[in-house]
Amino acid sequence: MSPRTGRPPKLGKPKSVSLQMRITQETAEKLQKCADALSVSRTEIIEKGIDLMYERFVEKNNGNSKSEK
């Protein structure tokens, strides 16, 4: 049997959901500047932004939201 080829899986949770979105040029530039300044990917910047907004949501709703799974 031949060895597996391709990119090795990253540690942590698998990322199986693909998301496509349309943003303005200004937002794209802000995203890239943040990614460059922090030496991380644009995906990581978006994920961190989602995490921050989710924390605010949970704090505001005291974790008692029907929309949480």
Q: Is residue 47 part of a domain?
A: yes
Look at residue 14 in the predicted model and tell me its pLDDT.
Answer: 85
Q: Is residue 2 part of a domain?
A: no
Q: What is the pLDDT of residues 8-28, one digit of tens each?
A: 777 788 888 999 999 999 999
Which residues have CB under 8 Å from 58's CB, separation 6+?
A: 65, 68
Cα(32)–Cα(38) distance, rounded to whole angstroms? 10
Q: Is residue 35 part of a domain?
A: yes
Q: Is residue 33 part of a domain?
A: yes
pLDDT band at 67 (very low <50, low <70, confident <90, very high): low
List of E strands, the chain = none
Q: Is residue 49 part of a domain?
A: yes
Structural domains counted in the chain = 1
Q: Is residue 67 part of a domain?
A: no
The domain of 33 spans 25-61
Q: What is the pLDDT of residues 22-52, one digit of tens each?
A: 999 999 999 999 999 999 999 999 999 999 9
Entry pTM: 0.71
